Amino acid sequence: MKCRDHLCLIKNTRHYSSVLFIALCLIVVLVLAGSSIFFVSKSKATDEVISFKYYTSVEVEYGDTLWGIASNYMTEEYRSLQDYIEEIKTLNGLQSDMIRSGQFLVIPYYSSE
């Protein structure tokens, strides 16, 4: 089936315009979707706070307990107070929870500074 050159040209131009319009719309949608994913992932990354582990030395005063000192210095990075106390005991070579006035303890803690 042959068509006249002028009519075929008009039909091809309309078809080409439709395909071009759909292609441009698809490109715009993909660019918008890609940029939104980029910005969402970037905002999540900037919300994270990086903490570093530090150590301080504490002198035990009369009436202090290991539990009390641990409660004052424990940060949210530790699962429980018991785990934190076990780390303090390990760092200081303690076999029990007994501490004495005048004794110095190495106490770990986390900070973002």
Give the number of other CB atoms < 10 A from CB of residue 74: 20
8 A C-beta contact, residue 85 and residue 70: yes
pLDDT digits (tens, 9 = 90+) for 40-81: 655 555 667 888 999 999 999 999 999 999 999 999 899 999
> 19 and 32, same structural domain?
yes
Whether pTM exceeds 0.75: no
pLDDT digits (tens, 9 = 90+) for 7-50: 555 556 666 677 667 777 778 777 777 777 766 655 555 667 88
> 75 and 34, same structural domain?
no
**CA angle (74, 76, 81) in 5-degree steps:** 45
Domain count, the chain: 2
**Paired sense of beta strands 52-59 and 104-111, if any:** antiparallel
Domain of 9 in residue numbering reads as 1-47
> Nearest Cα to 64, choosing from 20, 25, 34, 104?
104
